[in-house]
Structure 1
Amino acid sequence: MRTTTSPNSSAISGRWRRIGASALGTAALVLAGLGTAAHASAAPTLTPKTTPAKVTWAATPCATPKHKGDLACNSFRVTGGTTAFQKERAAETGKTATVTPKAAAASPTGYGPSDLQDAYGLTDAASDNGSGETIAIVDAYDDPNAATDLAKYRTYYGLPACTVANGCFKKVSQSGSTTSLPSADSGWAEEESLDLDMASAVCPNCNILLVEATSASMANLGKAVNEAVTLGAKFVSNSYGGSESSSDTSYDTSYFKHAGVAITVSAGDEGYGAEYPAASKYVTSVGGTALSTSSTTRGWTEKVWNTSSTEGTGSGCSAYDAKPTWQTDTGCSKRTISDVSAVADPATGVSVYDSYGVTAGWYTFGGTSASAPIIAAVYALAGTPGSSDYPAAYPYAAAGTSALNDVTSGSNGTCSSSAAYLCTAKSGYDGPTGLGTPEGTDAFTG
């Protein structure tokens, strides 16, 4: 369903995500799922993409909005081929890598908690920190299997139990109800599994609050963000976005202006171009990288995630949001996306356990839907933000230090030659990867 025209085409430039045509709306209903028990028994139809490595993937159904004005999730599910994780494990063991099945796998085929913690210098922090902190995941619609799928993931990887019974996990509607939940949707359920698993992978000692919006409208998702803060979460992850509009500055103050709360938002999956709410000046916008092992001292290497002219991490200049005081780049007169980044390339994707509307089992996911909860969890490992702070500023104080891995290769599209850093990685700040990726927690604390 992803269009393949130039990213500068007016048809997608910013974001076909908020659609109005009835034909697209009908297709979206089919792809995104009807939220019924009958639909839940069948896997959604996905149109695969491929890379030269023959890894194939497709946008999850929630990446196609159901209704005019809806926002879309930013995730992809691998459908075939051999991921970087499998190749690396094959090199370590001498065994041929297993080909990722089109359905579910019996065991993980993407990066797990130990990989992510090691890649981002978080192994010790993940073991010692996070107790008493709550990460909120904001998504649309209900995942009836959220708790059981989360338990499967955490049990497999030996993470501490996080259940309703022990008080670690809680699922609520946008009004805070634990019993009156939104209608179920298998496409958004995949997104919720991805988000919950990434929060768990990076901060296994954290509590997790899943807030499910009634729909994918900005109004309902925004109310879910407010509810997460009301319920005490100091770290709120949002893995969705849509085209910018003149209403965004009012959305900023209504939904995202929460001092003392680290709010992360995925930068988008359609290459160069800004989207909202990643463009909000009150959030940490999170770009995406391709993550692979290497012979360097770090043991890992990253580059900008970019598959094609219309697929890769988002970046660019907001048309409406003012530049926050902590941003000093000169290529955008207004807010620049992104701030920081983490793994998002499906070919170097992360393992997720999911069972609602698909064959129960292990899948590999990518997209900036993966990087946003990863960064929210890093903030949680770093500790509670200052009560008057906007934590999006924290990484800027650490710019150029060893607290961030500077990503210096790759691009996500075409932009002005006078401000090439907006779409091309370089030393220091750039649009696709921001200030870089975490190396420990020091860049995420005040």
Structure 2
Amino acid sequence: MVLAAVVAAIGAVTPAASAAPAPRAACPEQPGVLRCLTTYTPGAARALGPAGWGGDDLASAYGLPASAGSDTVVGISIAFDAPNLEADLAAYRAQYGLPPCTTANGCFRKVNQQGAAAPVPEANFGWTLESTLDVSMVSAACPSCRILVVEGNSPGFADLAETADTAVRLGAKVVSNSYGARENGAALAYASHYRHPGVTVVASSGDTGFTAASYPAVLASTIAVGGTSLARDPDSPRGWAERAWTYGGSGCSAYIAKPKWQRDAHCGKRTVADVSAAAEDIAIHYADAGGWLPVNGTSASAPFIAGLIGRSGHAGAIGPADVYAKAGSFTDVTAGHNDPAGAGKKCGGDYLCVAGPGYDAPTGVGVPNGLAGF
């Protein structure tokens, strides 16, 4: 009887003891600063090969052309230094048969927020993970694009605004911003830094579902990118299926006037997002975590869209209005919601948090269908 009781007790505690760790925000939310929009599971990295959707999967899912495309400079606005970024990028590109992108061949450049090679900011595990995801997604979308990473001293509004300005000054024609904060008056004071004539600005819509709109995605000058969950579907002509990612950001601005090119009915001001792409279970190589690591976040979808814009050769000529004008060139996402609390209850089943035919806030006008929308 005693032995049976011991066995029963061990059985009772074993599931809890062996439960997989929960996903963790790479950059926990802190007051007064922006945060990167990526989550990962501690201990999930592996050395022997990718886990999650890789560059070849994304090329297939979005019908990317075989031709390399433009050598557009894509700027990455980011906080803190990523010491091993070039090496992690090399591992990713080699895995998926993409041409080398290095400092030596002029494809890769990393600078501080003033645009100099040194001194670099301090390193930060979460933001380094973010940087690694950003350059990987630009590479998957545009193997021929040149990548310019501008590292801010901190995730403060002023420092990251300067990184965006520096990217433009150094030649970026599209700038990706994989970070955000709840829109507020303090943040909006830096809006002009995300508005540059002849440059396309892209930003992640957020990773907490339907909530207050995220800055800088909410700005009318920015293409706001939401997230989807991608799955293989051998029964469809496309071979893939997508639904709104449960945690992808959407929201109705409390500050930004309704742009004339946005005509949804239930938000009187700027609605986020505009377009979307895969944001769940994305494979990257991040040596600091132990190798190949699956990650989630609209921090994946935004630089992917930025890369596609660069690949199109139309970077700088494409803005949010053009996305809506070409809505028919995107694949509409009509399933899913971004209400983690439960199936669209948070917005009353409305398009602001539930995907459906035509425009909806979680996925915008849809996901890329080749480069036709850009």
Same fold (TM over 0.5): yes
2: CA distance, partners of 1:259 / 1:163: 29
2: CA distance, partners of 1:297 / 1:286: 25
1: CA distance, partners of 2:303 / 2:178: 8
Partner of 1:398: 326
Match of 1:153 among 88, 92, 116: 92
Secondary structure at the aligned position of 2:128 is classed as: helix
Match of 1:300 among 216, 237, 240: 240
CA contact (8 A) 2:75 2:176 kept: yes
When Rg is computed on C-alpha atoms for both structures, the one with the higher figure is 2
CA displacement 1:161-184 (0-9 Å, x = unmatched): 100011000000110011111111
Partner of 1:128: 68
CA apart distance, 1:392: 1.6
Tell me how large the CA RMSD over aligned residues is: 1.7
CA contact (8 A) 2:44 2:293 kept: no
Partner of 1:433: 363
CA apart distance, 1:102: 2.9
Secondary structure at the aligned position of 1:374 is classed as: helix
Partner of 2:258: 323
Partner of 2:274: 339
CA contact (8 A) 1:146 1:192 kept: yes
1:266 aligns with 2:192: no
Secondary structure at the aligned position of 1:442 is classed as: coil
CA apart distance, 1:64: 3.5
1: CA distance, partners of 2:144 / 2:252: 36
CA apart distance, 1:250: 3.0
CA apart distance, 1:412: 1.3
Match of 1:423 among 339, 353, 360: 353
CA contact (8 A) 2:68 2:142 kept: no
CA displacement 1:112-168 (0-9 Å, x = unmatched): 1111011111133xx3312x2111111100011011111111122221110001100
CA apart distance, 1:103: 3.7
TM-score between both structures, scaled by the size of structure 2: 0.89
1: CA distance, partners of 2:185 / 2:44: 41
Partner of 2:248: 313
Match of 2:172 among 233, 241, 245: 233
1:73 aligns with 2:40: no
CA displacement 1:369-394 (0-9 Å, x = unmatched): 110111101111111345xx561222
Match of 1:190 among 124, 129, 132: 129
Instruction: State how many pairs are aligned.
Output: 349
2: CA distance, partners of 1:121 / 1:55: 35
Match of 1:61 among 9, 26, 34: 26
Q: Percent of aligned positions with the same letter in both sequences? A: 44
Match of 1:355 among 284, 287, 305: 287
CA contact (8 A) 1:57 1:76 kept: no
Partner of 2:310: 380
2: CA distance, partners of 1:252 / 1:55: 41
Query: After the TM superposition, which residues 77-116 of structure 1 pair with which residues of structure 2 at under 5 Å, given as runs?
Result: 77-79=40-42, 102-116=44-58
Secondary structure at the aligned position of 1:194 is classed as: helix
Task: In structure 2, give the amino acid aligned to 1:315.
Answer: S
1:409 aligns with 2:335: yes
2: CA distance, partners of 1:57 / 1:128: 38
2: CA distance, partners of 1:317 / 1:71: 19
- In the TM superposition, structure 1's runs of 4+ consecutive aligned residues that sit over 4 Å from their partners are 54-57
CA displacement 1:31-84 (0-9 Å, x = unmatched): xxxxxxxxxxxxxxxxxxxxxxx986522432343xx311111111145xxxxx
1:164 aligns with 2:103: yes
1: CA distance, partners of 2:315 / 2:228: 26
Task: In structure 2, give the amino acid aligned to 1:157.
Answer: Y
